[in-house]
Amino acid sequence: DVRHGSILYLEDVSVSFDGFKAINNLNLTIDDGELRCIIGPNGAGKTTMMDIITGKTRPDTGSVWFGSRHNLLTMNEPDIASLGIGRKFQKPTVFEALTVFENLELAMATDKRVLPTLTSRLAGEDLDRIDEVLTLIGLKRLKDREAGILSHGQKQWLEIGMLLMQKPRLLLVDEPVAGMTEQEMERTAELLTSLAGKQSVVVVEHDMGFVRSIARKVTVLHQGSVLAEGSMDQVSNDPEVVKVYLGE
Ligand code: ADP
């Protein structure tokens, strides 16, 4: 019973830690090419939900499907990643001593399961992909600079670029604009909206202004379940949502 046209489908998912239900009958459908924002107060279950999707945490009950064919609950973390699910954690983890270009090259090499030989000649299509990603993340001009000299925002974009090298079908992004300047936030909004359509993107974010600027559809998590879903205007006017946020 899997929904067509969706890339990710969680049905009645629950998980408890020491008897505490962190995720409680969660139902979530992400469409192909969609950009979805997940919001909710601290402890709502957002991180646990991401951990379940990537296979880091196994739910006690429910089902998790990727596309219409892949039952993620039968798969381990590396196999789930190789289906095309990329996760970007909050802190950037680029290789500071390597150049921007080399970071992207390395990210591609991992995908091919070969040891990265940074001096080897790249095939034309690989160079094209790196070029394409450099343009997307706005770092073409800095491609031969060491990643260590990049600003916080630029490092975040580079890390998104590294995930893009593997052509993911679903990108999970954890608080992308934390610590960014206003200008970097605008650039990040452009980047994430430009990715949607080509791949599905799920963003967990606390900054409501940023969520409003990118999301067509927002899911509000509370106590491990979906409290509300809809446009930012719809959910922010929902009395239940207002109560949860004011009561925090
Ligand atoms: P959010 O990311 O929305 O802040 P989390 O998913 O981190 O929420 O946490 C949901 C709830 O589950 C919290 O109350 C948290 O303390 C609890 N929790 C999460 N992971 C664990 C764990 N490994 N062991 C015990 N409790 C956990």
CATH number at residue 50: 3.40.50.300
Residue with CA nearest ligand 1 atom 13:
43
Task: Domain of residue 26: give its range.
Answer: 6-246
| ipTM surpassing 0.90 | yes
Question: Is residue 167, in this structure, part of any structural domain at all?
Answer: yes
**What is the 186 CA–ligand 1 centroid distance (Å)?**
30
CB burial readout 93-107, b (16+ within 10 A) else e: ebeeebbbbbbbbbb
Question: Is residue 61, in this structure, part of any structural domain at all?
Answer: yes
- Give the pLDDT confidence score for residue 117 in this predicted structure: 54
Tell me the per-residue pLDDT of 7-61, one tens digit each, with 9 for 90 and over.
999 999 999 999 999 999 999 999 999 999 999 999 999 999 999 999 999 999 9
Our count of domains for the chain comes to 1
- Give the pLDDT confidence score for residue 4 in this predicted structure: 64
- Give the pLDDT confidence score for residue 120 in this predicted structure: 59
pTM of the model: 0.92
Query: Could you tell me which residues come within 8 angstroms of residue 200 by beta carbon, excluding any fewer than 6 positions away?
Result: 7, 8, 30, 31, 32, 33, 34, 35, 36, 169, 170, 171
Using H for helix, E for strand and C for coil, what is the string for 45-75?
A: CHHHHHHHHCCCCCCCEEEEEECCCEEHHHC
Question: Is residue 1, in this structure, part of any structural domain at all?
Answer: no
pLDDT, average across residues 121-137? 87
Asked if pLDDT for residue 230 goes beyond 80, the answer is: yes
Tell me the per-residue pLDDT of 138-175, one tens digit each, with 9 for 90 and over.
999 999 999 999 999 999 999 999 999 989 999 999 99
Question: Is residue 14, in this structure, part of any structural domain at all?
Answer: yes
**What is the 145 CA–ligand 1 centroid distance (Å)?**
39
Higher pLDDT, 125 or 137: 137
**What is the 118 CA–ligand 1 centroid distance (Å)?**
40
Assess contact for 64 and 72: CB atoms under 8 A: yes
Instruction: Locate the ligand 1 atom nearest the alpha carbon of residue 221 and give its number.
Output: 3
Instruction: Tell me 141's DSSP state.
Output: G
Question: Is residue 220, in this structure, part of any structural domain at all?
Answer: yes
Higher pLDDT, 24 or 125: 24
Confidence class of residue 125 from pLDDT cuts 50, 70 and 90?
confident
Instruction: Tell me 147's DSSP state.
Output: G
- The H or E element spanning position 185 is helix 182-195
Residue 10, amino acid? L
Question: Is residue 214, in this structure, part of any structural domain at all?
Answer: yes
Q: Mean pLDDT across the chain, nearest whole number?
A: 91
Q: Residues near ligand 1 with C-beta < 6 Å?
A: 17-18, 22, 40, 42-48
Residue with CA nearest ligand 1 atom 16:
43
pLDDT, average across residues 176-180? 94
Confidence class of residue 1 from pLDDT cuts 50, 70 and 90?
very low
Asked if pLDDT for residue 235 goes beyond 70, the answer is: yes
